Each structure stands twice: as C-alpha cells, then as structure tokens.
Structure 1
Amino acid sequence: MRLTQTPFFNVFFLLLLPLCLTSCQYKQSPHQTDLGNLYAIKRTPEEKDILFKKYEADVIKIQQLSNTESNQVYIDSILNYLRYTGREKEFFALTDIATRDAKKQHDQSRLAQIFEKKAVFYHDNQQLDSVYHYYLKAEQLYKKANDSLALAENRYYQARLLYEAGLDKESEVKLYQALKLLSNNLDNPIFIEANQLKAFYLTHYDEHTAALNILLEIYQSLKKDEGKYKVLPYDTYNIAMANLLGNIGMNYHDLENYEEAERYALIGLEYYAKSPHFVQVYAHLNRTYYLALYEQKKDNKTIERLVESYHIYTELNHYFYAIDISMVISTVYLEQGHKQLALEWLENAYDLAEKHNFYSYKREILERLLTDHKDAHTAQLVQELITVNRFLETVQKETLESFAKIEYNTLVLEQENDTLKQRIYFVYIGAFIVIGTLIFLLVFIRLRNKNKDLEHSNSEKSKNEQIMNLLIENNTIENVTILKERNRIAKDLHDGIINSIFTLRFNTQLLQIADNNLKSMLVDELVQLENKVRDISHAFSQQSIFQNKSFENLVTELVQKQSNKNKTKFTLVQTPNLCLEHLSTVQKVNIYQIIQEAFQNVNKHAQASLCQLKIALEDDTIVLSIEDNGKGIKYSAHRGIGLENMKERAQLIGAQLKIKSDIGKGTTVLLYLPNL
C-alpha cells in the first residue's frame, strides 16, 4: 500500500471551508411589515393594563423556558404586544432573551426587529433620542442583510420620528430614501403611509392641492384591495382607510371645500364603525366632521364634539393633538364671540405645550395671544415670545446636534464592532490553522506508520500463503505417491501372490492322497489365504490418501487457521451425517483449493466481520457456500486470477461455481458438485 500525497494547501482549503461558510453567512428571518408600529396607535393607561394582564402568564412562561431558541415565533409575538404596555421590567427581560438567541443563531434580521421593538417601546414613552438610536442600529443590520423592504420601512419610521421632533428637512431626506427603495412595491403598506407623510410636508408648504391629489391616489389604490385584503388584513384595512379619509377631509377643509370634507369624514366614520378598536382614529374623524359641519352652519354643538376629541387625546397622553384641538376650540369660541372662553382654551394649549416641551406650538400660541388678545399683558407676552423664539432655535439646534451625535456614535460603534469581529475572526483562523497543522502532522505520521505496518503484515501474509501452498502441494505429492505405491503393491499382490496361491490350491486338489480330510483342510486353508490376500489388495487400491487425516478434519483446520486485520470470525456449518470420504482425491484437492482461495479473498478484500463455510446435500448435489458480510465485489471487465482459477478447478471435477455479490452487502461463493 502506498500513502497518497495530498498538496498541503488543498488540505487547508478543505479545513477552512466550513469556518468560512459559517462566518460569512448570516441567518435571515423572513421580513413582515410591522403593522402595529406602522399605524402607531396610542393606548390609554387602562388599555395598557388590560393588554399586559392578557399576556402576563405568557411572559412568566417564557422566562421559565429551558429552550427558548425553538420558541422564537412565540417569544416575538408576545414582545409585539408587550412593547405597548409600558412595563419596562418585563419587556426588557424578554428582549434580553430574544437578543441572546438571535446573536447565538447569527440572525441579523431578527436582531434588527428586536431593536425596532425597543424603539417602539421608547416611542410610546416619548424618549425620542433612544427611539432614534435603536432605529439606527436596526438600519445597520438591515444593510448587512441586504433587505431592501425592511430598510425602507426602517427609514420611514426614522422620517416619521424626525417629523415629530420638528426636523422637517432631515425627515424629508429619510422619507425620499424610503420611497426610492419602495419604487417597485407600490402596493406595500409602507409606500402608502410614506406618501401620506409626503402629503403632510406639502401641506406645511401650503401646497394643499398637491397634497390632496396624493391622498386621493392612495385612497383609490386602497379601494382596489377592499374585499380582497391582500395589502392589509380586514381590521387594519378599516383603520387605515378611516385614518386616510380623515386626512383627506382635513385637506378639503384647508381648501375651504367643506362639503367634501364632511363627505370624506363621514365615510371614514363608517370604516371606523367596522373595526372600532382605536379611539384615536375616531377623535381625528370626529374633529374633521364637526368642523366641516360648523363651517357650513349645520351643527350648533361643535364645541361639545371637539371637547370630546380633546378628552380622548388627553386620556391617550397624545398631547400633540390635544394642544392642536385646544387651539381649534379657542378659534371657534373666538368666532362665536366668546373671547374669554377662547382665551382660556388658548392658555390651556399653552400650558400643555410648556409642560410637554412643544416649543413650536408654544411660539404659535404666543403669536395668537398677541394677535387675538392684545389687551392680555401684551408687553409680557412679547418678551416671552422673544424668549421662546430664541429657546426654540436653541432646542432645535440641540435636537439636531443630539440626533446627529446619536447617528455618528451608532455608526462609529458599528464600525468598531465590525473591526473587532474581523480581528476575532482572524484569531480564530490563526488558531484553526495551527490546530489544523498539528492534526495534519499527527494524521500523516499515523498513516505512515500504519502504511509500514500494513506492508509488513502483507509481507508476512504472503510468506504464510507461500508456506501453506507448499504444505498443501507437499501433502498432495505425498498422498499421490502413497496412492501409487499402494496401487503397485495391490497389483503385485493380485498378479503375483494371489495367482500363486490359486495355482497351489488347484494343484493340491489334483493330488491323490489317502487322507482326504487332510487334503480338504489344506484346500480350505489355501482358499482362506487367497481371499485374505485379495481383500488386502483391494483395500490398498481403494483407500484414500486422507486415511491419516480425514477431509472434514483438513477443512476444519483450514477454517481455524484463518485470521486477518479486520478480525473476521470464520465458522463451519456441515449437515449432520454428511460424509465426504467417498470423494476422489482429485475432487478433494480441488475443493480444498477453491475453499482456500475464497478465504484468501475474504482476508484481502472483503473487510468482513463474519464469514461462514457451509457444506450441505441438496437433491443429490453437494453444495458448498462461502458467505461473508463484507463490502462486496465491484465487477469489472478484468476479473482476478484467483476467481478464474476457482472456476477452472470447478470445471476439472465436474462441478459448477457461482459467485453472488452486492456492493455493501457481502459476497457468496457457491460450488455445486453432483453426489455420484
């Protein structure tokens, strides 16, 4: 056996390939639009408590799970609800579990989704800097995963956040990045909501007609999905339509088309009635509808309806809209001539803006106070307006700098993480190469030693086979010589002594003697001597060369002598009372050689654990089978010399030889010899 020489770099390529594959590929969880975050519906404290109690048992169950990796879908679904409950301890306990599993599985997409869930939690608590931080972290992971839809959704959320923070220009940049990524997905819910945000920008620029056209296009697009609900599920579809129709109504109101504003708001209320789950949407529609009726002088309870929406906003802690509707109520009171009530609602709006840091609204309210209520501490208001303007500029600058710093730090942190991962990766590769080299050397030395041992074993085996063949050959020559010698002695006894005794007996019978009894006795003695010599002659001529050692014993010894490196167990099974001594010497010798050759093939090639020699009698035919459970024979055009010799020996004694073999299932050699 010769050890194959494998090029060193090929070996290391094979060793490093699995490491490269596992290091360069990340698992990617399937992306689904986060409809809960997309429509950002606020909940009252009571609703949050009810939601937490509904899933409290699931939170405890997840924390007690021994195998959380196999429960990914279950854990993520509970997190989707828990992020709206305001329960910080429970929420972050579950996100820690999910984060650990995502990192362990190298699931970058899931990790990004967990970051976005954290952003939603902080958004619900108005911690905008933390919201932006986690959106940026998720954005970096979506870039690595090359998930364009997830990236577009993430950038839309960033744009919406920056819009809320008053950073309109920065928000527009993010929004148009999202729309560009969604250019081939016009039916995607993100594309629909992103265009509504685009319409809000146009409204701020007093481009109400352009904003309205965008909203109407979205409405027609969504109408096509009604009844099919492929873009949005039923309940979400109704909420989305209700919200969209409310925005369309507000744009018609801004364009002083109050009849259309009333019509679209009323249609929106009909959609809300189908899925009345979120009162925030109702508050929007209620505001739009009754303002349209007020402008048409169709309703005298406008204030009551607007106050109803105000209370909904305050209960939801949605102070942005609460301030806005307080200013609207103030305007209606002022138009009705109730100047004191108008002032009270404007001051209420100012108090909310000051308490919750809405500085843009604070400036607008001060301007309204100076314009509509000139007699209310004008000098003090002017000074406060100047202070607010300066402060607002400072806050906007600080907010912009804070968001920019968060973005910069996030990017730097990601770059540092990537650098650290690369260093760790190269350390792993270096260690792997060193370990691989040691393993290669150990395997090489071991194979080389095994190669020498195998060559020595083959040499010993070859010598043993030569000795065995010489012994068999010597035994055969000895037996043939003995047979010839016995045949010669038998012939000499038959042709010489027996003929002489016969002649002596015949002549004795012709003798004329007085004592006939003596004569008869002599003749009988001669007859007995003649028969005895004849028996000896026949015995010499017919006795087998295996007189000193039976054929069965010789075969048994052959089975017992077998051994090989695979530690094959050789056994002999013979039908009881089956005697083979009647076979001729030529038959015995050739049968012995066939069995020996079959055993040699098992020892050399079969790699078997069991080999059985079976001798049986079937329908006046002696059947010998040598069966092993080795790897089988792969047939080819060129057969081995051993197999050909076995067939020639079978033909020489009038027997039939068959060989059956299946790859991986072993080989059976069958010899059929007529029992004549």
Structure 2
Amino acid sequence: MHKIDSIQYHLLTAKLTDPISIANQHYKIGELYRYSLLSDSAYFYYQKAEKVFRKFNYKYKTAITLYGIAVCQTYDKDYTGSEVTSVEALTLLGQLNENNLIKERKAYIYNNLGIVFDELEEFDQAIEYLDKSLELKQELKGDFQRSIGLTLNNMLKVYRRSGKYDLGIEKYNEIFSNKELINNHPDIHVLALGNYANTLYLSGQTEELPDLYLKALRICDSIDDSYNSIIIHQHLGEYYYNLGKKDSAKYYAYKAKNISEAFNNDDLLKSLLLLSKIEEGDIAANHLNDYIKLSDSLQKKERAKRDKFARIRFETNQIEQENIRIARERMWLLIISVTLIITSFLIYLVINQKNKNNELKFIQQQQEINEEIYNLMLSQQDNIEEARTLEKKRISEELHDGVLGRLFGTRLSLDSLNMNNSTEAAKTRSQYISELKTIEDDIRKVSHELNTDFISGSGFIDIIKTLIETQTQAYGFDYEFKTNGDINWEEASNKTKIHIYRIIQESLQNIYKHANATLVKISFQIKNNVFCLKINDNGSGFDVNKAKRGIGLKNINSRVKEIKGDLTIDSEVNKGTTITIKVRTD
C-alpha cells in the first residue's frame, strides 16, 4: 500500500490543473489497488480516470482503463458486466493502428474473457478467447514469458473444469518443458503445479499425489506466496478426506481457512464448506452456518457492487451521449463552416469572373472605340486630301486655262507688233516678251507644285487641331497649339496616333471637369528621337502627393504604358497643371 499512498500524496500536493494528468494519476492508483486485489477501491479510481479519458476522446487510455474495470468485475463475479466492458475495450483498440502495445492490451483482454467464460462454464468459448490471447502474446516483441505462462495455466484450468484432463495435462507439460519460465517465474509454476496435481486427482491418476501438492506448498513458502497456497491446502484437505485420513484433512482444511480469513472471499467460503464436510456434529454445523452467513454477505456485497457498477456505467453512458451530442454539433458546425467557405469561394469566383468579363468587355469596347477613332481619322484625312486635291486642281486649271491663256494672248499681241521696226519699239517689245515668258514659267511652276502631294502627315495634325478647336469651344476656354514641323507622323504607328488622340481628348475633359481653367496650351516637339507632348492649363491645380488619381488619370497612365512612354504630372494649387508625355520614336 506504500506505493498507493505515495501516488495519492503526489496527487494531493502536485496541484495538477491538467485533467489528463489527474486522470493518469487516478488510473495508476486504480492499477495498484487492482494488483492488491482491492477491486472496490480500484474501480473507484478507474471510473474517475475513464470519465476524463472519454471526455477528451483518448481511445487508448479509455480502453486500458476499461480493461482494469473488467478485471475488477471478474473479481466481483460480475461476469456479464466484465464481458460487456471487455468487448467495449476491444472495440476501442480496434479503431487504433495496431502495434506491439495494442496487441499486448488485446491479449490481456482476451485472457480476461477466457476467465469470464470459464466461470460461466462456457468452456469452448473460454478456450477460444484464451487461444486468441496466447497467439497474440507469442507475437509480441519483448519478455512476455510470465504472461504466456498465465494464459497456459488458465487453459489448463479450463480443461480440468470441463473434464478434458488429457488436454489439461498437455498444457502442464507445455509449461513444465519451458525451464526458463519455471525457473524465472516460480509463482506461475505453483499455479500450474496445483492445477496439474488436481487434474491428476480428478482423473484418478494419484500415483504422484500428495507429493505434487506438497512440492507446490514448498515453492509457495519459498516465495512467500500465502494466497496461492490456500487452494493447495484445500486440495490436500479434500485428498486426505477422500482417503479417510481425517486428521490430515482437518490440518490442511484449517490451514486453508486460517489463511483465507485475511481475504474474506470465495476461498474462505470453500474452506468453510470443506470443514463442514470433514468435521462432525455441532462443529460441522457451525462451519456450515458460517458458510451460509458469509455466502449471503458476499452475495449482498456483489449485488451492491453490480448495482454501483451499473449506476456508474449509466453515468458513463450519459457522458458518452453528451460526447456524441457535442461531436454531432461539431460535425454540423464543420459542415456549415465548410459549406460557407465553399459558397464564399464560389461567390468570389463568380464575382471575379464577372469582373474579368467586364474588364474584357471594357478592353473590347476600347478597341472598338480606337478602331472608330482610327477610321474617323482616316476618313477625315481622306476628306481633307480630297478637298485639297480638288482645290489644287481648280487652282491649277484656273492658272493654266485662265491666266496662262491671257498671258499667252498678250504675248502673241506683243509679238505681232514686231512689224514696227523702230529700235525703241523693238527693244520695248523684247523686254515685255521676256518678262511675260518669265511670268509664264513662274505660273507653270506654281501650277506644277500645286498638283503634287502636300507634306506627309499634315493630315494627323489637322485632326488634332480640329479636336482641340471643337473641345475647347464646347468647354468654353481658349487654347494655344504649337507643333514642331520636323515630326514625321507617317513613321508613327496608328496605335501611337490613336492613344495620343485619346490622351488629348481625356486631358481636355479632365481640365473641363476639375481645373476651372480659362487657357490650355498644347505642344508637340521632338528632340533626340524623343517625341514630347505637353498639355498645360492655368486652372486650380492640386497636390500631386495627396490627391487620389481618378479614372481619367488612370486611363491616361494606361495609354502611356501602352505606347511605352513616360508620364510626368506637375501641379500646384492655384497655379495650374502640366502633363508631359515622352515617347521614343526609334
């Protein structure tokens, strides 16, 4: 009991706050009480540990605690309860990945079930469970000799009780042939030897008796095992009683009674019953009365324990139901959470896809607008070209057919005056005719130049100028437009022209909406293969570092990036804004 007191003291003084740690201590105390054959106290601590292990779903811990409870139930003859508890423990272990430790615990539980069914006199099922236990124990890694010996002895006992004496003797020989087991674990040898001797007695093979019983008693004395000597003393009492040697029978029967009084259990009952047979008269009657009283007392205790076990099992079932309810709620919470996450993700995908579609539509609309602008620019350029061609043709025809015709007629008239042979007249006529020829050559030259194409690219500037004139007139502010004549717009791509057109258009619109300007200055220049567009207004301006960029500026910035240019915005409150765009032409 010293170990139990030590653990209880540790439990009281450690001030453990972790429920699992406390449950582990309760389990250890339960184990120590069980090994001390104090099943009532053992069960008390086991059930405390079990409640916590179940609550936190510690399956292995719950299973081994249930095994301890099942053994206690076996001690207290609650065989049906022990069977139910053992099966529940096996079910929990079956849910875990099998390893050496799990196999070991299963083997112990099967061994307990073998004992239970032996007590219930269902011997075939008892052997079946003991076989399973033995098979598992033989597979285990480590030293399990003693445990294997216990299961073999249990099988020997079942065969003895079921009348299969030959099989029982075989099991004893299997134990006795393992000299390492016999030498290292004499307690197992005592159990097996006692069962073997009683098997020989029941089968009528008494040649080695009572020597085997006496040998078993000597081993018990050598290892100070008084408890296991009770049964051997009882067997010796029966043996000598059947031989008619009452004195020897009484000696061993009283020895069994005196030792078993310390335990006050079934062994004391058997001793009292044996003495009531061996003794005579009032002494036999007194032993029989003690037997009946003790039997009633033990039955009441067993019934009370079974009721207590049933009550605790009911509470445990309530805990299980509560755990199931909590698990179900958690499952629904998980399902709802997952559903919400998936739904949110799907909504996000739909919105994202919708935004992408809108973005694609916007890009498509921009492309369509750009194409319309480009076609408009081409159409306007064609109209301008056609108008200029017609105008040049008209002027050319007028010069050629009108002015040249009259000059030609004048020249002929003057030429006809050459009949006047005076020196002065001839000289004058010659000067006029020469001058007329000069005029005729000049007019012919002008006519020829008018019939040739105008400077390339001048059409785009006209389109820009038309845009500026139209927009500023609509918005109600003045403008100044300057361009460098060295810019060859024919080398610029249509994409660049379109974006420049739209940037100017967007800038004028922004100035109208936000700047409250009265004058806009727009200029084109080219220096060192870098084309530069400047748009300046005298409006209200803004703080570039603080102001949020609106859609207009974002569109301008996007277009500048499209043509791989650089955008600079300089602005100051009440001093206007300047937008500078630079694009390399090479």
TM-score (norm 2): 0.49
TM-score, normalization by structure 1 = 0.44
Larger Rg: 2
